[in-house]
C-alpha cells in the first residue's frame, strides 16, 4: 500500500491585514468566507504555496526552484519554462515542480498549414495543455475565530504617496485610508503521497519547509503575520483519506487551541493513534499517541518515520 502524509497546522495568534481581497473605496479588505455560519477571514492556498516555494529553494540550494520571484522587477522568472526535464528519466527536475506541479496552456494554432490531426471533431483547432498535478496539496487557511468587523483608520504622511495625494501640491496633505484587521490564528492542512514524487526525499523536505514557514501573504510592507506553526498534527499512514483537516478549535477566543474532532475520530477508530505526531495541543491522554514538546521535534520525528518507511537515505 502507498504511504500518505497529512498534516494540519495552526499559526500563532497575530493581527492579519492586507492579505487581501478587493479594495472598497479607500478600504483595504480582507479575504472572507462564510464558515460554519459566521464570517471568517481566509488566506489562499496559492499564497501559502508562494511562501513555501521560497523555503523549498533553501531545501535544495544547489538547484533552487524552477520558478523564482524577482523582487525588483516584481515578476516570476523561470529556469525551465517548458519543463523539459520531465521528458526523460534522467532530466533535471526542480523541487517545486515535483511537489507543486505545473501547467503549460497554449492557445489553438490557426495557421493555414495546421495538420488535421490537431483539430477536434467539429473541425476547430484545439489548444494544448501540459499538466502535472500537485503532489503536495494545500488547503485554504481559515481563521480560527470569526471576524468581528475591525477596521483601522490610517493616514500616510504628506508626500509619502504622491500618486494618491490630491491638490496642486502632492506633498501637502496626508492620504487617508482604512484597513480591515483580524486578530486571530489561522489553520490549514496539507496532503502528500511521497511515492508520486520523482524524488521521494522531497516529501521530508516539504514537511520540514512547512514546519519552518515564515510570513505568508500580505501586501507591500504594511503587514507581517507569522505562519510558522505553533501547533501541528502530522499523520503518516496507509490510509488515503486525511480524516482530520481543520481539526483545531478554540474556546477562549484564540488564546489556546484544542482538537476535539481529532480526538473523536481516534476514539471512533477512524485514525490510529500511533500514526499521529502532535505538538502544541495536548492530546497526551490518548494512549499510543506521539506527543512532542514543540513543532520542530514533532516534525523531526515524522520525517524520520517517513524516511524509514520509504527506505530513504538521510
191 in any annotated domain: yes
Residue ranges of the chain with pLDDT lower than 70? Answer: 19-26, 108-125, 161-171, 218-222, 313-314
The boundaries of the domain holding residue 261 are 4-75+133-157+177-309
53 in any annotated domain: yes
Compute the residue count for the chain: 314
pLDDT of residue 26: 65
Looking at the structure of the chain, the number of domains it has is: 1
187 in any annotated domain: yes
87 in any annotated domain: no
Q: Distance (Å, rounded) from C-alpha 277 to C-alpha 289?
A: 7
pLDDT of residue 312: 83
pLDDT of residue 138: 98
- Reference 216, options 25, 18, 4, 2; nearest CA is 18
Q: Distance (Å, rounded) from C-alpha 163 to C-alpha 239?
A: 55
Cell numbers 498534516 correspond to 7
69 in any annotated domain: yes
- Reference 140, options 186, 180, 184; nearest CA is 186
pLDDT of residue 156: 73
Cell numbers 527536475 correspond to 93
The three-state secondary structure class of 291 is strand
248 in any annotated domain: yes
Sign of the Cα pseudo-torsion (92, 97, 101, 104, in order): negative
Cβ atoms of 276 and 290 closer than 8 Å = yes
pLDDT of residue 177: 76
pLDDT of residue 222: 56
126 in any annotated domain: no
Cell, residue 172 = 501637502
314 in any annotated domain: no
pLDDT of residue 120: 58
Which ranges in 79-153 belong to alpha helices (H)?
95-100
Amino acid at each position: 500500500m502507498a504511504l500518505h502524509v497529512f498534516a494540519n497546522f495552526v499559526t500563532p495568534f497575530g493581527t492579519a491585514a492586507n492579505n487581501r481581497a478587493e479594495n472598497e473605496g479607500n478600504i483595504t479588505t480582507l479575504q472572507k468566507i462564510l464558515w460554519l455560519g459566521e464570517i471568517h477571514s481566509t488566506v489562499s492556498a496559492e499564497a501559502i504555496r508562494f511562501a513555501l516555494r521560497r523555503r523549498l529553494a533553501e531545501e535544495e540550494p544547489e538547484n533552487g526552484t524552477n520558478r523564482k520571484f524577482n523582487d525588483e522587477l516584481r515578476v516570476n522568472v523561470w529556469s525551465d519554462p517548458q519543463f523539459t526535464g520531465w521528458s526523460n528519466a534522467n532530466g533535471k527536475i526542480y523541487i517545486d515542480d515535483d511537489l507543486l506541479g505545473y501547467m503549460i496552456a497554449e492557445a489553438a494554432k490557426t495557421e493555414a498549414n495546421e495538420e488535421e490531426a490537431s483539430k477536434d471533431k467539429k473541425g476547430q483547432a484545439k489548444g494544448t495543455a501540459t499538466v502535472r498535478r500537485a503532489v503536495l496539496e494545500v488547503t485554504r487557511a481559515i481563521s480560527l475565530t470569526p471576524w468581528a468587523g475591525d477596521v483601522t483608520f490610517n493616514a500616510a504622511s504628506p508626500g509619502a504617496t504622491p500618486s494618491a495625494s490630491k491638490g496642486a501640491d502632492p506633498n501637502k496633505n496626508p492620504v487617508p485610508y482604512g484597513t480591515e484587521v483580524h486578530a486571530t490564528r489561522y489553520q490549514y492542512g496539507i496532503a502528500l503521497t511521497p511515492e508520486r514524487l520523482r524524488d521521494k526525499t522531497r516529501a521530508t523536505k516539504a514537511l520540514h519547509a512547512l514546519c519552518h514557514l515564515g510570513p505568508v501573504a500580505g501586501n507591500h510592507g504594511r503587514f507581517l503575520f507569522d505562519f510558522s506553526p505553533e501547533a501541528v498534527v502530522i499523520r503518516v499512514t496507509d490510509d488515503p483519506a486525511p480524516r482530520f483537516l481543520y481539526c483545531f478549535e478554540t474556546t477562549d477566543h484564540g488564546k489556546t487551541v484544542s482538537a476535539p474532532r481529532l480526538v473523536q475520530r481516534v476514539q471512533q477508530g477512524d485514525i490510529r493513534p500511533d500514526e499521529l505526531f502532535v505538538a502544541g495541543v495536548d492530546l497526551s491522554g490518548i494512549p499510543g499517541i506521539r506527543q512532542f514538546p514543540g513543532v520542530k521535534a514533532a516534525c523531526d520525528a515524522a520525517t524520520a518515520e517517513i524516511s524509514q518507511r520509504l527506505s530513504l537515505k538521510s
